[in-house]
Amino acid sequence: MLKVLKKGEASPRTVTVDVKAKTVTRLHVTEAHGERLVACNWTFDFASASDAAILELASRSVLIGSRPAFRAITDDKVIEKLLTQTIDVGEFMSRERGPQVITVSGMVNRAGKLSAEDRKKLMDELKAMDGKK
């Protein structure tokens, strides 16, 4: 049954892993066709995937999760040291997530993917935030 969330409405998020069946079930919220947020219950079946494919897929998530901290480093000597590194995935997964890094360039990149109509809506809302119209 389709559950569309109202603005500000919370929805539980869960992850259930069945190692023996090689499945992961996630109750989560995602955007559907525009601005609607819907609650989803998706099961990912890894039974037909090789261990190598699963590790490669998992490394993508760790890579993406590691980028914001790397991008925030301004010291070239530190960057140089981190160009070649081994990331302990268990340690990485046990870390608490820090605040999401939001940059102007990232927002511009995302806005560029919007339709002209949605960009206009965004501009109107941004102007309203500053008390301009």
User: Which of these ranges, 19-23, 35-39, 72-76, has the smallest mean pLDDT?
Assistant: 35-39
**At residue 133, does pLDDT exceed 60?**
no
Work out the pLDDT band at 129, boundaries 50, 70, 90: confident
Looking at the fold, whether 53 and 42 belong to one and the same domain comes out as no
**At residue 16, does pLDDT exceed 90?**
yes
Range of the domain at 27: 1-48
User: Phi/psi at 102 (nearest 5 deg)?
Assistant: -115, 120
How far is residue 131's CA from residue 119's CA, in Å, rounded to a whole number?
Answer: 18
| CB 16, CB 41: distance < 8 Å | no
| CB 46, CB 24: distance < 8 Å | yes
Looking at the fold, whether 66 and 86 belong to one and the same domain comes out as yes
Work out the pLDDT band at 132, boundaries 50, 70, 90: low
| CB 25, CB 42: distance < 8 Å | yes
Looking at the fold, whether 20 and 61 belong to one and the same domain comes out as no
DSSP reduced 3-state for 123: helix
Looking at the fold, whether 126 and 111 belong to one and the same domain comes out as yes
Looking at the fold, whether 29 and 15 belong to one and the same domain comes out as yes
User: Which of these ranges, 101-105, 117-121, 125-129, has the smallest mean pLDDT?
Assistant: 101-105
Looking at the fold, whether 78 and 38 belong to one and the same domain comes out as no
Q: Tell me: the pLDDT tens digits for 32-71? A: 777 778 888 899 999 999 999 999 999 999 999 888 888 8
Looking at the fold, whether 8 and 40 belong to one and the same domain comes out as yes
Domain count, the chain: 3
Looking at the fold, whether 76 and 106 belong to one and the same domain comes out as no
* The length of the chain, given as a count of residues: 133
Q: DSSP E strands: which ranges in the chain? A: 4-5, 14-18, 23-32, 36-45
Instruction: Please give the model's pTM, rounded to 2 decimal places.
Output: 0.58
Closest Cα partner for 70 from 61, 83, 57, 58? 83
